[in-house]
Amino acid sequence: MRIFITGASGLVGSNCLRHFKEKGWNAIGTYFSYEAQDTVFYDTLQPDNENNYDVAAFKPEVIVHCGALTHVDYCEQNEAESYEKTVVSTQNMIALAAEMNARLVFISTDYIFDGESGPYEENAPVNPLSIYGKHKLEAEQLVLQASEDHLVLRITNVYGDEERGKNFVSRILDQIFNQQKLTLRLPIDQYATPINAYDIARCLYLLLNDQKSGVYHIAGTDYMNRVQLALNILKYFPDATYELIPLTTDKIGAPAARPLQGGLKNRKFMSEYPDFRFNTVDDYVSYKSILTEED
């Protein structure tokens, strides 16, 4: 299968690129601002940019749109840019998919929900609280309206291996491995379902291989707040130096509102793939700790 992945220098995109190649698919991954290993340039906001990778020559059967602006507070304070990089870029990928006669995969979020009664299933009422959530919801609705063959994956609290190590879990591990003191001011009232990016790639491979469409929630089996998540990591490193300051969301005072009781239920996916095993945060961190000891 020929797969074109936008945003392959990021966490989800890079893991998809890696796994699809492992499975023998012909996968091309793109970057825009950060040129990661094995990626080519493509600007989703300017599909006619002369420097763009020649998608037409590649003739993708599937386009996986992972490129997006994911900094929630930045989106809240920069609404026009958020709209452009989330909604407009998705509109362009919808048009490209139609031109290539390809299926489109859009990566969405649990921020389309208000966090009053999570974790959520696919048919739960949506009610985004933030600009980021509103733009993600608008983009996924455009994708689903464009073709019944398109696919939307909702995910949240993604962690795992990536070249820049920007995700929450990787940043903590990096500071621990570099013997830096951690100062962690974390919300104790924001709950979610952390998911390893490599599991997202594994799930997406199965869904694409079986020609699935519509909306799927991809979520790990952990359900915890950020304080619990940090402590779950730190328990593997008893010599780590840290100061952990639990705070309620209102005390943190971030620009964008967060869904407090958020997260996603993977019941739909598991009903179709009952033998699939999701990794846990413990699986990932214990593996990383063993690697460090071996080094």
Quick: pLDDT tens for 236-257. 999 999 999 999 999 999 999 9
- The alpha carbon of residue 285 and the mean position of all alpha carbons in its chain are separated, in whole angstroms, by 19
Q: pTM for the whole thing?
A: 0.96
Residue-wise DSSP of 137-156: HHHHHHHHHH-TT-EEEEE-
Q: Which CATH superfamily is domain 2-159+194-217 in?
A: NAD(P)-binding Rossmann-like Domain (3.40.50.720)
Mean pLDDT over residues 65-72, rounded?
A: 92
Contact between 88 and 139 under an 8 Å Cβ cutoff? The reply is no
Domain assignments of the chain as residue spans, ordered by start: 2-159+194-217, 168-191+224-261+281-294
- Specify the CATH number of the domain 168-191+224-261+281-294: 3.90.25.10
Residue with tokens 């990794």: 279
To the nearest whole percent, how much of the chain has pLDDT over 70? Answer: 98
- Residue 14 tokens read as 């890079």
d(CA 208, CA 62): 8
Mean pLDDT for the chain overall:
95
Report CA-CA distances (Å) from 105 to 52, 93, 187, 236.
Answer: 20, 10, 31, 36
Quick: pLDDT tens for 277-295. 999 999 999 988 887 665 5
Q: Is 148 helix (H, G, I), strand (E, B) or coil?
A: coil
The 8-class DSSP code of residue 134 comes to H
The 8-class DSSP code of residue 117 comes to S
Residue-wise DSSP of 274-289: TT-----HHHHHHHHH
**Phi, psi dihedral angles at 5 (to 5 degrees):** -115, 115
